Amino acid sequence: MSQFDSFVIKYRWIFVCLFLLPLTFLFETYNSLRNWFAFKFLSSPKKHADRVANIQRQIADWIADGRRQLLCTSRPGWTAMSLRIGRYKKSHRNIDIMHLKDVLEIDEQRRIARVEPMVTMGQLSRTLTPLGWTIPVVPELDDLTVGGLIMGCGVESSSHVYGLFHSTCTAFELVLADGSLIRATESENSDLFYSVPWSHGTLGFLVSAEIKIIPAKRYVKLHYEPVYTQEDMAKLFEKESRDMTKNEFVEALVFSQTEAVVMTGKMTDEPGKTKINAIGKFWKPWFYTHVQNFLKSGPGEECVPLRDYYHRHTRSIFWEVQHIISFGNHPLFRYTLGWAMPPKLAFLKAFQTKKIKELYEQHHVTQDMLVPIKTLADSIDVFHEEFNIYPLWACPMALPCPRGMVHAPRGDDNLYVDLGCYGVPESKTFHFRDSLRKVEAFVRKVKGFQMLYADSFLTRGEFYEMFDHALYNKVRSEFQCENAFPVVYDKVSRQARTH
């Protein structure tokens, strides 16, 4: 590595602070004003039909050109959550969907929010919360999009009650390979409805979704319970995850093989004598560091404003920002530049140098594995052996539906846990490919699932073993997708993405 490359990697915080943070602030300010105007003056619903017609025209042009390429969206790879950019974009016909980014309707009588696929979680929570509503599952990072969470996967600390993000959706509207517009619900085109989640845009172009909304309250009363053995952690986490009446929210941050903090919460309008902690304020400590303090102080309870709770991991991007701005949680930095945090993930990817990409390639892990909750302790041991990265994020979820690509085996317990691993591995035996292959083998053995935004070294056979393709293949045949869209594996496997 040259001296220049070493300098760029060591001091990239200078570029981030002086360039990317101001750029992020300007972009987010513009975007917020634009989204508010579009929703306030109802310009988006009026334009939605025109936007859909534009996609249909693009597909008609593709058909007229002889269907010579497979189809994909034009969304630039650097704007997606995956660290890798799909090389298939260069060989496929790109269909422009980037204009589908608005909240179309909030129907309080039907308790439905109708949105376009590029709407983000931050945008949706900012729209709904002032109206007294929320969606049941709000994946925590602001930039996660509705389309990505449906076509891929979305989980949050309320998923033990409501399931994954797509389980809270009641209807999908798609443009198919022949250019037709179709609506899919549990009762209308139900095979397509259950096949869309995890399909990664290989059945059609999602142009809108209807999501359930539920009444929102002002706060989440959050209880922090530190545990000091792995056995106690696994038992407490499972116990709280199964108590859906008491706990609307459950998650844990695992700080070592033996130490963790299990958090449980419930919405409330009346904090009573419980301390209010607005953790979303820019001068507040990063959330995971706040949680870690309870290992020393013992159990605690506080009321967190609802939207602050939903996006509690956004400012530090869980704990990833510490690898970019190591002093980012220092009080001086928080009070002076905390208002501009975090740097936008898309900009971080767009301005990566070749050496930084190689650094992430060999010395950084970003993975979410969904495993049966009974295997949580064993899963932590495997993650420790192969990665040794802490904290780990543990989030419970129900997988109740027996249809689609991802579901619990029939007759098995449908309570799973997402174990999220993000950071620089400390394991002395770590090797990027070999270590990940061992973790993938363990997840397959326990009948778990790998989130597909991340690197996957699964072979095609292993992929088909992990994910149920029966209904998906039937739908692809019914809607003539074979010569229009790639299969999921050819979009998400390591071979399909650039380095």
Check whether 228 has a pLDDT greater than 80. Answer: yes
Q: What is the mean pLDDT of residues 239-264?
A: 96
- Give 381's contacts (C-beta < 8 A, 6+ positions apart): 230, 257
Q: How many domains does the chain have?
A: 2
Q: In the listed set 263, 283, 315, which residue is the last one of a domain according to the structure?
A: 315
**Dist. CA 232–CA 374, nearest whole Å:** 13
**pLDDT for residue 33 is more than 80:** yes
The answer to the question of residue 185 being in a domain is yes
- Residue 279 to residue 286: CA distance in whole angstroms: 8
Same domain (yes/no): 153, 141 = yes
Rg (CA), the chain: 22
Q: Whole-angstrom Cα distance, residue 408 to residue 372?
A: 9
Q: How far apart are CA 443 and CA 377, in angstroms?
A: 13
Higher per-residue pLDDT: 81 or 319: 319
**Which of 215, 241, 264 is the last residue in one of the domains?**
215
User: Which of residues 350 and 185 earns the better pLDDT score?
Assistant: 185
Average pLDDT of the segment spanning 7-22: 80
- The residue-averaged pLDDT of 285-307 equals 97
In a domain, 354, yes or no: no
CA–CA distances in Å: residue 244 to residues 351, 387, 415, 489: 43, 32, 12, 35
Q: Does residue 226 have a cis bond before it (omega within 30 degrees)?
A: no
Strand 219-227 vs strand 300-305: parallel, antiparallel, or unpaired?
A: antiparallel
Q: Does pLDDT of 458 surpass 80? A: yes
Does residue 366 sit within a domain?
A: no
In this structure, which amino acid lies at residue 212? K
Give the whole-angstrom CA distance, residue 344 versus residue 119: 16
pLDDT confidence band for 356 (50 / 70 / 90): confident
Q: Is 291 among the domain residues? A: yes
CA distances from 289 to 219, 221, 336 (A): 21, 19, 19
Instruction: Kindly state the helix (H) or strand (E) to which residue 340 belongs, with its residue range.
Output: none
- Residue 78 pLDDT > 80, yes or no? no
pLDDT for position 43: 62
Of all residues in the chain, the percent with pLDDT exceeding 90 is: 76
Residues 252 and 185 both lie in one domain: no
Q: Is residue 496 pLDDT above 70, yes or no?
A: no
- Note whether 52 and 149 are same-domain residues: yes
φ, ψ for residue 402 (rounded to 5)?
A: -80, 5
Continuous H helices in 258-402: 287-292, 294-297, 306-310, 331-337, 345-350, 354-363, 376-386
In a domain, 179, yes or no: yes
Cα–Cα distance for residue pair 251/260, rounded to 1 Å: 10
Q: Does 48 score more than 80 pLDDT?
A: yes
Same domain, 134 and 261: no
> DSSP class of residue 87?
G
The arithmetic mean of pLDDT across residues 103-131, rounded, is 95
Q: pLDDT tier at 499 (50, 70, 90 boundaries)?
A: very low
238 and 139 co-located in one domain: no
Whether residue 183 is found in the same domain as residue 294: no
Q: Is the pLDDT of residue 80 over 70?
A: no
Domain hosting 92: range is: 37-215
Q: What is the pLDDT of residue 181?
A: 97
Residues 183 and 274 in one domain: no
**pLDDT reported for residue 441:** 97
Closest CA to 107 of 210, 34, 33: 210
Question: Do 240 and 264 touch, CB atoms closer than 8 A?
Answer: yes
Task: Using CB atoms within 10 Å of the CB of residue 442, give its burial: 0 to 12 exposed, 13 to 18 middle, 19+ buried.
Answer: buried
* Residues 67, 173 within the same domain: yes
Spatial CB neighbours of 265, under 8 Å, sequence gap ≥ 6: 157, 220, 221, 222, 223, 247, 248, 249, 250, 304, 309
Nearest to 172, CA basis, from 156, 186, 185 = 185
Whether 164 and 281 map to the same domain: the answer is no
Q: Go through 125-151 and write b for each residue having 16 or more CB atoms within 10 A of its CB, e for each that does not.
A: bbbbbeeebbbbbbbbbbbbbbbbbbb
Q: Which residues contact 39 (CB under 8 A, 6 or more apart)?
A: 102, 103, 127
Is the pLDDT confidence value at 401 over 80?
no
On whether residue 80 sits in a domain, the answer given is: yes
Give the list of residues 6+ apart from residue 91 with CB closer than 8 angstroms, or none. 69, 70
Q: What is the CATH number of the domain that holds 190?
A: 3.30.465.10
Q: Return d(Cα 202, Cα 356) in angstroms, integer.
A: 31
Residues 276 and 207 in one domain: no
In a domain, 377, yes or no: no
| Cα–Cα distance for residue pair 249/289, rounded to 1 Å | 19
Q: Which domain-ending residue is among 215, 236, 267?
A: 215
Residue 352 has pLDDT above 80, yes or no: no
More confident call, 172 vs 358? 172
pLDDT the model gives residue 7: 58
- Report DSSP state, residue 120: B
Least confident of 70-79, 439-448, 490-499: 490-499
Distance CA 164, CA 451 (A): 12
Whether 62 and 197 share a structural domain: yes
Mean pLDDT for all residues in the chain: 91
Same domain, 201 and 234: no
Considering the domain boundaries, does residue 257 fall inside one? yes
